[in-house]
Amino acid sequence: MINLEVPKKAKALVNQARQAATEVFRPISRKYDRAEHAYPSELDMLAALLDGLNTSGEGGAGAAGVRRGDDDKGGNRNGGNLLTVLGTIELCWGDVALLLSMPRQGLGNAAIASVANDEQLARFGKLWAAMAITEPDCGSDSAAITTTATKDGDDYVLNGEKIFVTSGERADAVVVWATLDRTQGRAAIKSFVVEKGTPGFEVVRLEHKLGIRASDTAVLRFDNCRVPAQNLLGTPDIDTKKGFAGVMQTFDNTRPLVAAMAIGVARAALEETRGLLAEAGVEVDYDKPVNAQHAAAATFLRLEADYEAAYLLTLESAWMADNRKPNSLEASMAKAKAGRTVVDVTLRCVELAGTLGYTEDSLLEKWARDAKILDIFEGTQQIQQLIVARKLLGKSSKDLK
């Protein structure tokens, strides 16, 4: 059974994350939204602090992984995944783009933590790793990847192009998804760690975006890029029975993290709007029925209820990962609910705030722009609903498209 209170062991981490969000992220949030592609140098000291927390064994300060092979000593646990989700919520209450800009906290780091062997963890654990999945002709359908990895002696040769790679220019390395054999379908898709400076690896351009402008989003090209065979994460064997499961394990971890980002942004918008409503004389009364309150208060209560549902789904999916329970369904449910909720919450908060919501006098308009990507990356809303439907109905990807 899940205790809905924040675990005692997490309270210090949550307080530290809230302090960093308040004192570091919020004051520079608007500055780097306007200065797109400029690196937020203020984050370097904070990143060093988070590295220290991870090294000390406190956990929850960086990208965590679902280590399915870890020993299970029994009993319920609140481990690294739940701590990371709670920390992510607090930091994204400050600014989601700045969190995405943090060194060594990339989604590629979560992929390495999830599927790398012990030797690879030792080699790549301290790198800042981006994640490269999406291609020009392959959006939400990760199984349709066309980037190839051809074995040549002790190397793999990568050819292809990746788009919308978060931290693609700034990161030390990129976790690239590529297929070993296109005739074998999704079972042949593997992930490779490609370090910056590798011949044949080129950053083509940076994108100009609607939101999360402080975070660089790059287009990458791989032209006969030779990568050592030991940089393939996991096993090189093509197991058609296991299919896509090995690679999808990464999503079981990263989707709750993206859901947590959405929770943080939604909570920021709700708190700001509650204050603006109070200044306007609109009271949100939790002891009165909705239909007996001001229309703005009724709308606020509905938004807050959606937020609470998304929050609890996100905590559940992370708790399941910590306790070695299959969480693919719950991870997709959390991502779908949180992604849709943050978009709805931020846009409605802009409306409730009136003129203040649409100007740069408040961060509400920025949060509304930032929110949309949280409903798109790591699998769009539609893809998450498709995954949930397959799981609930017992259908395969061939049966339900």
> Looking at 90, 135, 272, 378, which residue is catalytic?
378
| CB proximity list for 16: less than 8 A, separation 6 or greater | 53
E-assigned strand segments in 108-154: 129-132, 148-152
Asked if 378 is an active-site residue, the reply is yes
Domains and CATH numbers, the chain: 8-108 (1.10.540), 127-233 (2.40.110.10), 245-393 (1.20.140.10)
Q: How far apart are CA 176 and CA 178, in angstroms?
A: 6
Q: How far apart are CA 117 and CA 105, in angstroms?
A: 19
E-assigned strand segments in 146-264: 148-152, 155-166, 173-179, 189-195, 201-206, 217-228, 232-233
If you write DSSP's letter for every residue of 7-20 in order, what string do you get?
PHHHHHHHHHHHHH
Q: Contact 266/207 with Cβ under 8 angstroms?
A: no
Q: Contact 118/146 with Cβ under 8 angstroms?
A: no
Question: pLDDT tens digits, the chain, 401 residues: what are they?
Answer: 556 788 888 899 899 999 999 999 999 999 999 999 999 999 988 887 776 655 555 555 455 555 555 545 556 676 888 998 999 999 999 999 999 999 887 788 888 888 888 999 999 988 999 999 999 988 777 778 999 999 999 999 999 999 999 999 999 999 999 999 988 888 899 999 999 999 999 999 999 999 999 999 999 999 999 999 999 998 888 876 555 555 566 778 789 999 999 999 999 999 999 999 999 999 999 999 999 999 999 999 999 999 999 999 999 999 998 888 999 999 999 999 999 999 999 999 999 999 999 999 999 999 999 999 999 998 899 999 999 999 999 998 889 98
Smallest CA-to-CA distance from 100 within 271, 254, 222, 205 is with 254
In the numeric block, which tokens belong to residue 188?
Answer: 């042949």
Q: Contact 316/344 with Cβ under 8 angstroms?
A: no
End-to-end CA distance of the chain: 34
